[in-house]
Amino acid sequence: MIASITALLAVTVALVLVALLVASLALTGPDWVTAVAVGMLFLNVGVLATLAGGSSITPMLPYLLLLLPALYQVLVNRAPVIWGWPMTAMLTFALVAALSTVVSSRPGDSFPTLVQWLLEGLIFFFALTNSIRTLSALRRCIQALVVAGAVVGLFVAYQQRQGNFYDTYLGLAQVSAPYDITSSSSSVLSDGVADGSFRAAGMLGEPNFFAMVMTALTPWAAYLVITARGLARRMAWAIAGMLASYAVFVTYSRGALLAAGAVLVLLALWGVLPRKALIYLSAAGALAVMAVPTLADRLATLGSLAGGGPSEDASAAGRLSEVEAAWNVFATHPFVGVGPGQFPLYYQRYVSLTGGSVHSGEGARNAHNIVLGLAADIGLLGLGAFVILVTVVVVGLARARSHTRLRGVATAALVSVCFYLGCSAFLHLAYARYLWLYLALSTAIISLALGEDTTDPPTGSQLRDAEAEDPGAPSGPARHRLQGAELPLNGPR
Residue 126 C-beta-side C-alpha neighbours within 13 Å: 18
Q: What is the pLDDT confidence band of residue 149, given thresholds at 50, 70 and 90?
A: very high
- Work out the average pLDDT over 322-344: 93
Residue 374 C-beta-side C-alpha neighbours within 13 Å: 21
Average the pLDDT over each of 102-106, 304-308, 485-489 and give the range with the smallest value. Answer: 485-489
Helix (H, G, I), strand (E, B) or coil at 198: coil
- Work out the average pLDDT over 114-124: 91
Antiparallel, parallel or unpaired: β 174-175 and 200-202: antiparallel
For residues 44 and 171, give the distance between their C-alpha atoms in angstroms, rounded to a whole number: 9
Domain boundaries along the sequence of the chain: 20-455
pLDDT tens-digit series, residues 201-249: 999 999 999 999 999 999 999 999 999 999 999 999 999 999 999 999 9
What angle, 0 to 180 degrees and rounded to 10, lies between the N-to-C axes of helices 460-469 and 135-162? Answer: 60
Is the per-residue pLDDT at 467 higher than 50?
no
Most confident of 52-61, 353-362, 387-396: 387-396
Helix (H, G, I), strand (E, B) or coil at 85: helix
- Work out the average pLDDT over 372-395: 96
Cβ(427)–Cβ(377) below 8 Å? no
- Work out the average pLDDT over 392-410: 95
Closest CA to 145 of 249, 201, 204, 219: 219
For residues 237 and 143, give the distance between their C-alpha atoms in angstroms, rounded to a whole number: 9
Q: What is the pLDDT confidence band of residue 347, given thresholds at 50, 70 and 90?
A: confident
Q: Taking the model in full, what pTM does it have? A: 0.82
The runs of H, that is alpha helices, within 163-253 are: 186-194, 207-227, 231-249
pLDDT tens-digit series, residues 170-210: 899 999 864 433 333 333 344 444 444 688 999 999 999 99
Cβ(74)–Cβ(132) below 8 Å? no
Residue scoring higher pLDDT (389 or 271): 389
Mean pLDDT of the chain: 80
Q: CA quadruple 13, 15, 17, 19: dihedral positive or negative?
A: negative
For residues 146 and 39, give the distance between their C-alpha atoms in angstroms, rounded to a whole number: 8
pLDDT of residue 231: 94
Residue scoring higher pLDDT (269 or 364): 269
Is the per-residue pLDDT at 417 higher than 60?
yes
Cβ(120)–Cβ(63) below 8 Å? yes
Cβ(304)–Cβ(342) below 8 Å? no
Q: What is the pLDDT confidence band of residue 307, given thresholds at 50, 70 and 90?
A: low
pLDDT of residue 477: 42
